[in-house]
Chain A
Amino acid sequence: MEYNYLFIWSIIILLCLLIIILSTTGYNYVRPITLWGAQMFLSLNILLFGILDLARIGFQFVYELCRVSYVNISYMMGFDGMSMCLLALSTFLVIMCIICYWHGKYQLTAYFLTMSVSVWVFHHVFTVLDLILFYIAFEAILTPMFILLGVWGSRERKVYAAYHLFLYTVLGSFFMMVAFFDIYMHTGDTSILIQDVISGNKYHQDRGIYVYVCLLLAFAIKIPLVPFHIWLPEAHVEAPTPGSILLAGVLLKLGSYGLMRFVYNGPGIATSSSLTLYLFTIAALGFVYCSFVAWNQQDMKKILAYSSVAHMNMAIMGLFSQNIAGLEGFGILMLAHGFVASALFYLVGMVYERYKSRLVMYYSGLVLILPRWSWFLFILVLGNIAFPGTVNFVGELLITLGIAKGFGYLIFVIYIGMVLTLIYSFFLFARICFGIIKEPLIRYYSDMTRIETYLLRILVFIVIYSGFIPEVINKFFKILWSSLTL
């Protein structure tokens, strides 16, 4: 099994080399090189899906590159179903970003360099099996995002947004570092493989709570849970389309991934009973709150950003409902949101590229001039409201079932949020697509290009196919959830 993983490793080395080459070549070569690199990476990833042993608990294809012996840190990597799915998702989204800036003019080499770096970092953050290395990768993601925002953002306010993004995430990461050092000092090891290290067995409960809260803060900022969510809409609005796609598709998943991997599975087990209820309530209220705020927004990207926050809060509710239905819903909704939200941001990016505005009030009657675009928007809005037949429905159904089993009375709080989700989604759709064309803004028309259509067809196919047969996603997590609820 280790040999399979070596292939991946060699590709990563290749990517590293590519990055070096890219910085020197002209941009006629930059685009295909980056695209093919990322595509090879994705296809290897898909190959590994086939040989992943779904019945095995724990990590597979584990490979230790080197070991820093004097601090006892090992550069070790490995997969399980969850990290493999998330890695495939993020690689696919990076490919999407590469294609959507294919004909870009401004700082092309730097853009593709950033994309290569982000593939590399995403790979690390989902596969490293060491706390300190995870921390490093978690921080390193910030760099490409910061550059994307600052260089390719469209307005002056992007500086403020980048500042927000950096400030919040670094603040959270500081707490994470404290927690990891605490674990290191008390166990002498930082490997995730050794379950004892973070499962709280070696911890007194009082100390466990500090670690738990510190990690929670770090990941709550990344998810984001409600009081810490300010940076996300700001960053979404200022980011270019690829930035938004990566933010919604990968960065938000990172928070919930970390929460699942290090908090729920880690010191959380020892202290979960006392803090879970608070966390759960915060997530439920956050869901409703963000739905309300999304309803009030005028900017399409802000609506979608708050909708992302709301859905991620819902996923977190599934994680902390502490039964298997909720956990399964968490896994499914996380991926489903990755597909749907990034596709929606991509769509909004298309009209922004064409008509240079994101405000809902300037648009009307787009179904007459962008019929294909409107169809895709409609299908994805249906995904956003968890229409049965899309994969989001399966996720939300399982999560709400988990809530009904765990915290039944909160289901009526979530009820409000689910109604509001429909309201803002359909108001958005009906206002943009229906009605009469507003002449002053819409001067010409060009529907989606062929390549954009292909990309979105893939996403819509995934959303609907796995909505009909959710087992294609769910089977990768099943063993993980049963090991978590043992």
Chain B
Amino acid sequence: MSTLLILLFPLMAFVYSLFLGSIVGRQISIVITCGALFISAVISVLGLFEIISTGEISRVVLINWITANDFTIDWGLKFDQQALIMCVVITVISANVHIYAMDYMKQDPRSQVFSSYLSLFTLFMLILVCADNLVFLYVGWEGVGLASFLLIGYWNTRYSAVKAAVKAMVTNRVSDIFFLVGILLIMHLYGSVNFDIITLTHLYVQQQHIVSSYHSWVLLVACVSIFIGAVGKSAQIFMHVWLPDAMEGPTPVSALLHAATMVTAGVVLLIKLSWLFVSFPGLSVCIAIIGSLTGVMASCASVFQFDIKKVIAYSTCSQLGYMVMACGLNYYNVALFHLFNHAFFKALLFLGAGSIIHAVADEQDMRRMGGLANFLPFTMLCIIVGSLAIMGIPFLAGFYSKDVILELAVSSYIIDGLFLYFMALFAAFCTSVYSIRMLMFVFFFKPKGSHTVTPVEADYYMTLVLATLLVFSCIVGYIFSDYFVGFGTPALSDSVAYLPLGYFYNNTLLVSPLVKNLPLIVSIVGWVLGLVIMYKLQFGTKYNYMRYLILKNNYYFTTALYNPLFFNTLYNSIFINIYKYSYYIHTKTLDKGIWEYLGPVGIYRLLNSMSFHTRNMANSLTLGLGLMFFGVVFIYIYLIFSACSVQYYMFNIGIWVCLLGIVYYEFVAHNKKI
């Protein structure tokens, strides 16, 4: 039960800080929030050690949420290995970010609201990773989207921030509803949303070979829908457009939400439902290809960005591509490991960037920085270590997970595996290029821009946080590598699907040393190449060949990668066209046109014309009226003499003469002027 406290403390911090923050004052409420998150982090680390040593999974059902006659949905939590690992990531990064934000948002009059939003986000993210059923996971899933909306739009008088917040919300909703559809289809098939029940039922059905074609089709649709949901949240290609815009939020938000935790929700979802995905090899390959495409696209785009936060944002996007690729290769534990490592060094990079931005008076354009190496040595150290970790330089965090993914890709011995390997290799190359580019721009170029303030290192708490994350980025990979990807490790087998063929290490042992070391070689080559090019650009003669090659000749190329593949343009035009056509079709043609004409306007006109005709009829004696008169006379005759067996045709004649009169009157007579 002590694991439940992990969730309780962020909840308490949120409630306290939001509702009582204005009463007790923002300093006190922020300190309490940070303390709560710190306690939560400590408890989750202890919980992780406990589960590593004992392997006991604890389950808690909070309330029975929805009960219909044939299913129930609980607010249930399941603290298995995967959940506790994610808890550690979330709470440790979140506690650090809270403390960092205490300094970073010092000038803000509503900073207690800011930290309460951060706590709210932490709570929802913890719900997401600990949920034991899909619908409760969906609560956390939507909740982190909500927290993202609030935090991106935190400075809500800035139109760009508001636009980015709404864009993030809308883009996420497009994929979230797919996820919801997937949940419903799984609920329809298996009658439950509980992960354990889904997994066990699925395995039983697979083993017994009692799968109908309908069943497998619906399951495939459900899996594809869920994957689309993951694509949206994890900012994979086609749905990545919201992530760079989300950098409008304050930098701690970018570090916590859009680097370390929230964007990894999609990967967590894939890991949690890994048993379903391993039974569709074709879908898995598609997932891996989408991951690798994302990696290449985002890392290429990152090379051409000038906003320091957008460089790191695209870098996040490409690292998420690696994780999704690992999921697609069915090595879910490796994906989780990369997620774990990535959280630390990416938070380090973002918070370091925040420190730089503060130092140069909120300037985010790298072209207007430069020469900060002398002023911010510690921040430079952080950024360099973060960059080396993301490149996969040995014995830093990224090395242990990223290289494994590449090795697994090449050792899966399928043609897609080779493709994935080379894509990932190219992404690794781009990674080192944009890392060195960012370093050169910020620290080693000549000072540019109008610095009105002297850049100074950050305050005490910010430095403390950076130091903590610096240490973590160096050591977490080494410490946890045996647990996650060690030879024959059974640690995650309770919560993550392994390949049926046995443990993956068997294949990677057969890979030749050259192929194994190629990622490292490529990274170093990229680093050196980037260094040379950047040096030439900055310090070379004004009209050298390389400058010409890069800046003049490739305008379209660089523009295309600056706005990566014009996705934004495309989506904006689609969105606006839908709006425009829906206006013409739905609002103008139907709502203000046909429905009104068939409804009140039509009736109004009909009644008007009828009253006009009646008036005419009363005023003028015409042939029609005469016919009607005689018709009625016939009918009367029939009615009166029916007792004396008058023939029935008299009645018919009467009706017909009457009708004739009406028709004549309607179509001929009323056209005459009175």
Contacts and interface: CB of A to CB of B under 8 A. Distances in A.
Interface of A: 163-164, 167-168, 227-231, 289, 292-293, 295-297, 324-325, 328, 365, 367-368, 382, 387-389, 394, 397-398, 400-401, 404-405, 408, 411-412, 415, 418-419, 422-423, 426-427, 430, 433-436, 468-471, 474, 482
A434 B600 contact: no
B170 A230 contact: no
B170 A365 contact: no
Given A295-B579, A430-B165, A469 B156 contact: no
A362 B439 CA distance: 46
Interface string B553-573: 000000000000000000000
Contacts of B188: 401, 404-405, 408
Given A230-B595, A230-B600, A435-B162, A295 B582 contact: yes
B354 interface: no
B66 A470 contact: yes
Q: Residue among A296, A388, A389, A469 with the most chain B CB within 10 A?
A: A388
Nearest to B584: A296
A411 B181 contact: yes
B103 interface: no
Contacts of B583: 296
Pick the 5 closest A-B CB pairs, nearest first.
A388-B139, A404-B184, A434-B162, A434-B156, A292-B582
Interface in B138-197: 138-139, 142-143, 146, 149, 153, 156-157, 159, 162, 165-166, 169-170, 173-174, 177-178, 180-181, 184-185, 187-188
A472 B181 CA distance: 26
A227 B146 CA distance: 35
A419 B173 contact: yes
A142 to B, nearest CB: 16
10 contacts: A227-B595, A292-B582, A297-B587, A324-B70, A367-B156, A397-B66, A401-B187, A430-B162, A434-B162, A482-B69
Contact of A293 (B156, B587, B603): B587
B247 to A, nearest CB: 18
B70 A435 contact: no
Contact of B599 (A168, A367, A401, A408): A168
Given A325-B68, A433-B156, A435-B162, A387 B180 contact: no
B586 interface: yes
Contacts of B166: 426-427, 430
B65 interface: yes
B390 to A, nearest CB: 34
A435 B157 contact: yes
A229 B598 CA distance: 12
A325 B187 CA distance: 12
Given A167-B603, A427-B166, A433-B156, A293 B173 contact: no
Contact of B156 (A289, A419, A435): A435
Interface of B: 63-71, 135, 138-139, 142-143, 146, 149, 153, 156-157, 159, 162, 165-166, 169-170, 173-174, 177-178, 180-181, 184-185, 187-188, 218, 579, 582-583, 586-587, 590-591, 595-596, 598-600, 603
Contact of B600 (A167, A324, A397): A167
A138 to B, nearest CB: 20
Nearest to A403: B184
A400 B146 contact: no
Given A289-B590, A394-B65, A470-B65, 11 more contacts: A167-B600, A230-B596, A292-B587, A296-B583, A325-B71, A388-B142, A394-B66, A412-B181, A415-B178, A427-B166, A435-B159
Contacts of A405: 188
B157 A382 contact: no
B599 A230 contact: yes
A401 B66 CA distance: 12
Contacts of B174: 419
A470 B173 CA distance: 24
Contacts of B582: 292-293, 295-296
Contact of B598 (A227, A365, A426, A470): A227
Given A167-B600, A296-B579, A324-B70, A411 B595 contact: no
Given A404-B184, A412-B181, A435-B162, A387 B68 contact: no
Contacts of A482: 69
B156 A388 contact: no
A423 B574 CA distance: 14
Contacts of B162: 430, 434-435
Contacts of A292: 582, 586-587
Contact of A164 (B143, B173, B180, B600): B600
Given A292-B586, A296-B583, A401 B169 contact: no
B108 to A, nearest CB: 15
Nearest to A289: B586
A297 to B, nearest CB: 8
B180 A400 contact: yes
A297 B582 CA distance: 11
A421 to B, nearest CB: 9
Contact of B143 (A367, A388, A412, A415): A388
A389 B139 contact: yes
A422 B169 contact: yes
B591 A230 contact: yes
Contact of A368 (B153, B157, B599): B157
Contact of A404 (B139, B185, B587): B185
A293 B180 contact: no
A418 B591 contact: no
Contact of B184 (A163, A411, A435): A411
